[in-house]
Structure formats: C-alpha cells, structure tokens
Amino acid sequence: MAFAAFSSTTAPSTDPVARRRSPVALFLLLPGILYLVLFFLTPLVSLLLTSFQAPREFGDIGQYDYAFRWQNYVEVVTTYWPHIVRSFSYALAATFFALLISYPLAYFIGVKARKWPLLQSLMLVLVIAPFFISFLLRTLAWKQLFADESFVVQSLKALSLLGPEAHVTGTAFSVIFGLTYNFIPFMTLPLYTTLERLDVRYLEAGSDLYASPFQVFQKVTIPLSMPGIVAGTLLTFIPAAGDYINAGRDFLGGTGTQMMGNVIEANFLVLQNYPSAAALSIILMTVILVIVSIYVKRSGTEELL
C-alpha cells in the first residue's frame, strides 16, 4: 500500500540479526547506488556548476560558459526576493493548517477507531484516495469550484462575506488552500502510524494523576506522537516549498502569488536562463536542508533519518 512508505519512516529500527560482512552486500548495493550517483548526485553537481555560469560573449539566448560568476546569486536574490519569501511563508502556513486539520483526523483513525478495524481501514483508504487521481486535476477542480461565477463564490458574495469585486482564485488564500489540501494525506499518514501505536494506558495514567484532558494531550499525547509530527511536517513542508502547480497562473495562483518553483520553471524552460534557475534551485535546496536539520535536531528525532 502507498502508506507503507510513510509508516516505515517512523518505524523504530530493530536489529534482530547479527549482520554479516559479505561481498554479496557490494553486489546488492552497487547498481542502485551507482544509479543514484549518476542521476541524483552528479545532476546536483552540474546544477551547482550551472549556477555559476556566465553568458557567452556574442552568444545567443541560452548559451552559457562555465565560469565562477557568483554575482548570479546576488542577482537572483535581489530579483526574486518576494518569491523566496513567498515560497517559505506559504509552505509554512500550509504545513501549519495541514497539521491542524490532520491531527484530530489521524487521532480518531489511529486511537478511537481501534475498536472497529473495518472502519479504520476504510478511513485510511479514503485518506490515500486523493493519491489515485491526478494531482493536477484535483487542483483544477478547486479552481473551478472557486471561480468567480461558481456557486461558492456567488453565495459568499450574496451573503456579503466577499466584496462584489473580490476574487478567490489567484490570491495567497487560494494558493495556501490548495497546498494545504494537497498535502493533508502526507501529514495524516505518518501521524496515523505513530498514533496507532500509542499506548492509551499512558493517557489513562495521566488522567488518574488528576491531569485535565488538555494537560494529558499537551504533556503525554503530543510528545508521544512527536515522530509522526516531525515526519508529517517534513513531508508537507519540503514539497510545498518547491511546488509550482498550486501557485501557477492556470491553477490557483496569479501574478502576485508566484513561488520559487514558478520562477525556476520559467527561467529554465521558457527564458532559457539556466544559471538563474540553477542558482535559485541551489538556494531552495540549501535553505530547506538547513531548516530540516535544525528542526530535526531541536525536536530530538534524529533517529528518524
């Protein structure tokens, strides 16, 4: 099942076997590792090299030479500063809302629904159901539902909850909404896998010791489900920061909501400004790695990796 991948990210590493040293290990590892070196690691290196390229003298558009033009970085940061800020703030907001929406849902499926295994598996299937239908079509469906002439927007306008000239699509709201929606399953599944293993006797012990339900939640449930919270927030934050579908003009975004992904795409595939696209990608990746390593250290869940 699709969520097997998520459940194992939080599984404790058990060491049942005394591991052997054997040349077989090398035979098993080499093809896959070599593949990743060729198609994951060297591309990152060539991205780094590209990010320092300089335009060829008297060359055409899209022609660059290897150089050490570090000014590329200064240029993209000054030009695309709003996009950089938007990427991380939208991703942060979407992660926050997805956690808020998913936690009670995961708690119900993982803890309260234990008595009914059939209901539990039915609900899990519904959580992963969005994965079975195209990500782009789902996002477009929201665009249609939030279009100016749609029932939702017309009703909001009739109730004066929305100004007569206001739009829903093309705003920061609709982009964050789309990101939140699309990453709820990524948040819910790891939360579910930790909450499903939560020993309810700890909660009972908390209330036996006169803790209020809120205190039990804050002092027992949350700390015990921390691995799930960390895995879920990472699985949401990382792809959300790099996403460019939700913020795309033909989807839920507008000219004022473009994120880093959008400008990387535009620079690479449309403007053929490869060094700028590469520099932005390197910045995106570096910031994410820094945030992730600080976050994982602070929350004390290094063993997850």
Closest separation in Å from C-beta 109 to another protein: 7
Coil, helix or strand at residue 73 = helix
Residue indicated by tokens 């690691």: 41
Question: Does residue 89 interact with another protein by CB under 8 A?
Answer: no
Closest separation in Å from C-beta 138 to another protein: 4
Question: Does residue 26 interact with another protein by CB under 8 A?
Answer: yes
Q: Whose Cβ is closer to another protein: residue 220's or residue 267's?
A: 267
User: Which 119-158 residues touch another protein, going by CB under 8 A?
Assistant: 121, 123, 125-142, 144-145, 147
Beta-bridge partner residues of 155: none
Two tokens at 160? 């004066």
φ and ψ at residue 245, rounded to 5 degrees: -80, -55
Can you tell me the distance from the alpha carbon of 114 to that of 179, in angstroms, rounded to the nearest whole number? 30
Stretch near another protein under the rule CB under 8 A, chosen from 156-164, 204-212, 215-223, 272-280: 272-280
101 CB neighbour count, 10 Å cutoff = 15
Question: Does residue 11 interact with another protein by CB under 8 A?
Answer: yes
φ and ψ at residue 230, rounded to 5 degrees: -65, -50
Binding track, positions 166-185, relative to another protein; x by CB under 8 A: ---------------x--xx
Q: Whose Cβ is closer to another protein: residue 163's or residue 290's?
A: 290
Nearest to 180 by CA among 246, 260, 254: 246
Nearest to 243 by CA among 168, 169, 177: 177
Q: Whose Cβ is closer to another protein: residue 137's or residue 158's?
A: 137
User: Which 201-260 residues touch another protein, going by CB under 8 A?
Assistant: 234, 238-239, 241-245, 248, 250-251, 260
Can you tell me the distance from the alpha carbon of 125 to that of 240, in angstroms, rounded to the nearest whole number? 23
Closest separation in Å from C-beta 201 to another protein: 20
